[in-house]
Amino acid sequence: MIVNEKVAIDHGLKKDEYKKICELLKRIPNLTELAIFSAMWNEHCSYKSSRKHLKNLHTKGKKVIQGPGENAGVIDIGDDDAIVFKIESHNHPSFIEPYQGAATGVGGIMRDVFTMGARPIANLNSIHFGSPQHKKTRNLLRGVVKGIGGYGNCIGVPTIAGQTNFDESYNGNILVNAMTLGLVNKKKIFYSKAAGINKPVIYVGSKTGRDGIHGASMASAVFDDKIEEKKPTVQVGDPFTEKLLLEACLELMGDDSIISIQDMGAAGLTSSSVEMASKGKLGIELNLNKVPCREDKMTPYEIMLSESQERMLIVLENGKEEKAKKIFDKWDLDFAVIGKTTETKKIELFFDNKKVADIPIDLLAERAPVYDRKWKKIKLPQSIKFKKQDFKSLKIEGCLIKLLSHPNICDKQWIWDQYDHTVMGDTIQKPGGDSGVVRIHGTTKAVAASVDSSALYCFAHPLSGGKQIVCESWRNLISVGAEPIAITNCLNFGNPEKEKNMGEFVECVQGITEASKYLDFPVVSGNVSFYNETKDRGIKPTPSIGGVGLIKNYENMVSMDLKNNGNIILVIGKTIGHLEQSIFAREILSEKKGPPPEINLFNEKNNGLSILKLINEKLVVSCHDISLGGILVAISKMCIKSKKGIKLNSLKGLINKFEYFFGEDQARYLIEIRKDNLTKVDKILKDNSIHYDELGYVIDKNIEFSDEIKLSVDDLEKTYKNWLRKYMVN
């Protein structure tokens, strides 16, 4: 094929980008070289629209060992233990082929983690689907859940937490964000930076096939009516092979054989080889005839772009080849010496004794395009003043029942029942709580993790929404007794070439940066997913935040289920009654306008650290943060979880009761304490100038409020648990 402008455009390159490639090379690239440029210069690999803004993220911290720029971030949890973690998107593939798209998303993120020498210990996910009424939603949900479970369950890593949301903006672009945590000795961390000249470059794992070709480019494109034609770009996963690859890599990592190691993820052999060489300021030479292939007559173009799964690229020390080969032979995996590092600072490819590509590495990495795209600032919406007549016909109990059965609040057990959350035997808080928690085997320590997003807040005001979702992650970790340490982010947005979309991204990043810096909650890894758009309609801005925290003694962990009758329930934090952008305003009052709730970072930090102090002093027996749906939804979940009830106090100076019970003011928690600890708790809270309300006390089986409300917890449980199960069997 003769390479020209049209061919370049067909590969996802812009006219000016193709022109620049020709200028940099001082010639027209051949087809293989053009494919390499198209892979490395696409949005998914180059971050060309986001790089300028990502530099502003807060990434440093006392416990940060490795921040952004590696396969995953690394944090120190003491005693030479470190946690490696990252979240990443697999959105487009999951919409095209939900089972394999979701499965390979899980496989890919786990490889990012064990590539660094860590054994995966927990998986999480954040998945977003279109309206439940949309014709594709049910099947997409079913396929994605089966894919996540099918891969994670087979490889033997527990799925400990997650999030599932529905919104019509995802009708044409679902989101599948997968997160993995791994445990590693901090003295045995492996990196992707190549080093040394004439070092053998090794291919290990599965054979290369034609699946996934142009997968990275597809992830950087908008969808149209021809989406079904893109199925061949979706990778096919094999969790059993991944398990073998995991064990073989960890075994090889037991000595000093490996110089660098890189997963073959997006853009496959192209990105892995270029990234290793680029980080090491070296060249790399590959003989593509030596790449193990499972299909006949594969071309250099296909070999370099294939995204076949369960593959790694390794730079070894000289003389270690035979030892390494024995390990991979034992695990029945392919092992091939396919090239060497060079001093040329080029990627040079050979096939059938001919040089088929010759490109300076810096043209693919450092000199890849970086765009300063125009963006539109989003103003804070004007406040909505609700009137008494807006609530006149409403009853508290009716509103609560409707909200508990809402798709974004209802119980998601149908989903996590399909995930193995107890394998490995260290899960001590399973899905359904504020955070999942796993023990660090053989120690008193435990690691908590959660994943959250808030597209509605971000859509209303991206700056506020960005701050809020970091704070939500912070609260979810605090609520189980974990000290928040760091976050990973997956930034899901529409077409960045549109000023509004780019503005949403820029201001969400600004909000994330501001909150993470104030809370000392740095970003250590992440991913950007643009072009989540179909037929000119993009998704709501959806940054997903994965938070990780440490519980030094897991006996101090708390859960959200109520414990004993007579215990007092406190609302920590001031309740103003902010209804705008709340699920109550949208679903009960049919009001979608107004600003999201105010984010007071001082209150978030002060309230959170004070709750943590109370937990560590064993003054709290249960805890739950107040978020979607407000106080009454939060306490209902605590009651349902424990099959206990609450007698609500008649609160003095109560604002409109609907605003009080359903407002989504931030920086708030519900805590359960013993009566005899109230004086101690009161002193700590007052010493820190923290407002609290005494909401009520624990009773059996009912939620009671004076003579107005008496709701059976059993009935609420049926409402809460039935919607998703009924939806999925229809």
Q: Are 115 and 263 in contact (CB under 8 A)?
A: yes
Q: Which SS3 state, helix, strand or coil, does residue 703 take?
A: strand
Supply the DSSP symbol for 198: S
Of the candidates 716, 677, 439, the one whose C-alpha atom is nearest the C-alpha of residue 568 is 677
CA distance 434 to 124: 13
Structure tokens at 395: 């009853």
Order of strands, sheet of 542-551, starting from the edge strand that comes earlier in the sequence: 427-429, 436-439, 446-452, 542-551, 483-492, 523-529
Radius of gyration of the chain (CA): 26
In 10 A of CB 576, how many CB atoms? Answer: 14
Alpha helices of 352-421 — where are they, by DSSP H?
361-364, 388-391, 396-404, 413-416
Edge-to-edge strands, sheet with 64-66: 64-66, 73-78, 81-89, 175-185, 119-129, 159-166
Choosing from 44, 128, 578, 624, which is the catalytic residue?
44
Contact (CB, 8 A) for 484 and 433: no
3-state secondary structure of 362: helix
Catalytic pick among 11, 53, 58, 90: 90
**DSSP labels, 503-529:** HHHHHHHHHHHHHHHHTT--EEEEEEE
Residue in this structure with the two tokens 């749906």, named with its chain if needed: 629
Q: What is the DSSP string of 453-481?
A: --HHHHHH-HHHHHHHHHHHHHHHHHTTT
CA distance 95 to 102: 9
CA 214, distance to chain mean position in Å, is: 23
Tokens 């820029």 locate to: 506
The partner residues of 166 in beta bridges, in order of sequence, read 129
Q: How many degrees, rounded to 5, is the angle at CA 193 between CA 190 and CA 196?
A: 110
**220 CB-contact burial (10 Å; exposed 0-12 / middle 13-18 / buried 19+):** buried
Is 53 known to be catalytic? no
The yes-or-no answer on residue 90 being catalytic is: yes
β-partners of residue 346 are 360
The tokens of 165 are what?
């949301």
DSSP-derived pairing of the beta strands 81-89 and 669-673: unpaired
711 backbone φψ class: left, alpha, beta (φ>0; ψ -120 to 50)? beta
Q: Read off the tokens for 695.
A: 């909401």
Catalytic residue positions?
44, 90
